[in-house]
Amino acid sequence: MTVDDGDIRSLLLSRADRADAHGLRMAAVEAARATPQLRPLVRLSSLTRRTWPVRAAAAIAALVVVTGAIALVIGLRLSDRDGTGVAVVGASPTVTPRSVPTPSPTDRPVTAPPYVSGSCPVTPITDLAGGLVPEVVTGGIRWRWGPLPWEAGVGQKVAFAETSPDQVLDASAIIAERLPIETSETPVSIRYPRGGGPGFVFGVGLPEPGCWLLTAIGPTIRSSVVVQVAPAPANPPSAESQNVPTERASLVPLARCPTSPLVSGAAVRTWLDGDNRWQDPDPSDWVAGVKRKLVVSGVVSSLAPYELVVAARVGIVGPPESQRSAFVADRPVFTAPTPGSGSKAMELILPTAGCWAITYVDPTATSTIVVEVAATPSVSFLGPPAVADRTLLPSCGAERFTTPEGPWNEAARVCFWDAYRAQRPAEFVSTWLTTEGDPITSIYRVLGAGRVEIFIDSTQDRFTPATDRGWQRLDCSTLATVQSPAPAPDFGPDHTCVATPLH
């Protein structure tokens, strides 16, 4: 028995007509008056979208000389609840620790990255060089910065050097990126000495007050510190003393990812970072878009109130002549390890292939490893013959995501969308996990001009009625796009598609 659209609409209109909204609005307003709102933990008053002023490049003096140095420094802003932070630097008499309210259990963002404690896990200062300059030795690197306090918008000189003469680095750079935990704003504040230089002192201007993660990565080093930056001074210094460019150069993939060395002979894939041990129990290659579990233990596994893991893809900042001199973070991924003492387990989905730095942050110490994530291999299916024997097309990769916001395989989506617009053959595989955790896979294929083929596998979706569960092929002329703020194209079948069940 068929039902036409008019019958359904008529039925639904008659049901809707039973609505009596009298008094509902007033009741809702009264309820609102009596109910506090849930506030995101890290909604930062200081994170207004403001333009960073153009600054003249500051002269970068050499403080430390290292033969053929390298470094990658990423500045990731971790948090600042109210923008009133001040620099916390060891026992310096000029600074005062900031008091930050501890959040209530309900005061957590639902969708924002995890943030466990309200205070900045500033890396403990181990020394004051010359009695004034904070010094931290971590991950085989000696960090120094000054002058004090570190104020927002004011260029700092940051120096780092290896602590072991056996270590040889390749290039030099320093980069800070404004990546607050709750937003993905345009990065700012990058300055690095072109062509390296005799010393490795870099100008860093962190534009906002708050808690920042700086990471240095080179072939033999992986080191991070967390610093806190005070609000901008009332009388900012002259432009010459600031070194905050406004434009970010393009990101070029690394020719070779300086991955952390593996511990040979270990039962599972293991990396050592100082006193910390990272383990990956999964023997398969780490591929983009697939959930991966890591376990870290050691110094960072102490009972710490601040537990946060930050992963950032690293590459080289152009122009080409600077390829040996600078790296930058790109779209960081945040996660929280399982609370508790002892070993910390965490799950990460790194959405794109490439070189990733993963840093565990807590007030005791930071620990960083670098891993290389492979592109998702072309997917083969044991589906019906039309799927299993389909013509091979250039693969844009695959993704597996758990929420409508992703994490998506942005590179794969852009690749496929470009191919679709250019009417160039391509294939892209997208697997969505339903609320119940069941996978629904769509294989998108551009066959040529005006010809798109989509295979949809709902065989494992318990939500789909049994009679409709299975494979189907959609033959389409065009694809629909969804207006979405998502960071990658969102597309799907449109009205031109004709569905055919596959057996």
Partner 1 sequence: METGLIERARNGDVEAFDALIGHRVEAMLRTAVAIIGDPEEAREATQESLLTIWKELPTLRIDDRFDAWAGRILVNHCRLALKRRGRRAGREVRLDGSSQSDSAATAGSDELFDRREPLERAFEQLDPDDRVLLVLHHLEGLQVAQIAARLEIPIGTAKSRLFSARRALERALEAES
Binding stretches for partner 1 (CB under 8 A): 1-3, 5, 7-21, 24-25, 27-29, 31-33, 35-40, 43, 109-112, 182, 403-404, 430, 432, 434, 440, 442, 454, 456, 458, 463-465, 467-468, 472, 474, 480-485, 491-495, 497, 499
Closest contact distance (angstroms) between CB of 25 and partner 1 is 5
Closest contact distance (angstroms) between CB of 27 and partner 1 is 6
321, burial (CB in 10 Å: exposed 0-12, middle 13-18, buried 19+): exposed
Torsion, CA 274, CA 275, CA 280, CA 286, rounded to 10: -20
Of 374 and 480, the one with the shorter C-beta distance to partner 1 is 480
Of 241 and 442, the one with the shorter C-beta distance to partner 1 is 442
Q: Are 458 and 434 contacting, i.e. CB atoms less than 8 angstroms apart? A: no
Q: Are 503 and 386 contacting, i.e. CB atoms less than 8 angstroms apart? A: no
Q: Phi and psi at residue 172, in whole multiples of 5°?
A: -145, 145
Of 63 and 454, the one with the shorter C-beta distance to partner 1 is 454
428 beta partners: 444
Report the candidate in 491, 487, 489 with the shortest Cα–Cα distance to residue 183.
Answer: 487
Of 175 and 181, the one with the shorter C-beta distance to partner 1 is 181
CA of 29: how far to CAs of 34, 38, 40, 259, in Å?
9, 16, 22, 56
Residue 492: CB partners within 8 Å, gap ≥ 6?
442, 479, 480, 482
Closest contact distance (angstroms) between CB of 31 and partner 1 is 5
Amino acid identity of 293? K
Of 254 and 443, the one with the shorter C-beta distance to partner 1 is 443
C-beta neighbour count of 93 within 10 angstroms: 5
Of 10 and 250, the one with the shorter C-beta distance to partner 1 is 10
What's the length of the chain? 503
Closest contact distance (angstroms) between CB of 427 and partner 1 is 15
Closest contact distance (angstroms) between CB of 273 and partner 1 is 34
Torsion, CA 430, CA 433, CA 439, CA 445, rounded to 10: -10
Distance of alpha carbon 188 from alpha carbon 317, whole angstroms: 13
Closest contact distance (angstroms) between CB of 348 and partner 1 is 22
Closest contact distance (angstroms) between CB of 233 and partner 1 is 28
Distance of alpha carbon 377 from alpha carbon 399, whole angstroms: 10
Closest contact distance (angstroms) between CB of 323 and partner 1 is 35
Of 247 and 405, the one with the shorter C-beta distance to partner 1 is 405
Of 3 and 255, the one with the shorter C-beta distance to partner 1 is 3
Distance of alpha carbon 159 from alpha carbon 157, whole angstroms: 7
Residue 305 in tokens: 């109130």
Closest contact distance (angstroms) between CB of 503 and partner 1 is 16
Amino acid identity of 178? R
Q: Are 278 and 270 contacting, i.e. CB atoms less than 8 angstroms apart? A: yes
Of 286 and 334, the one with the shorter C-beta distance to partner 1 is 334
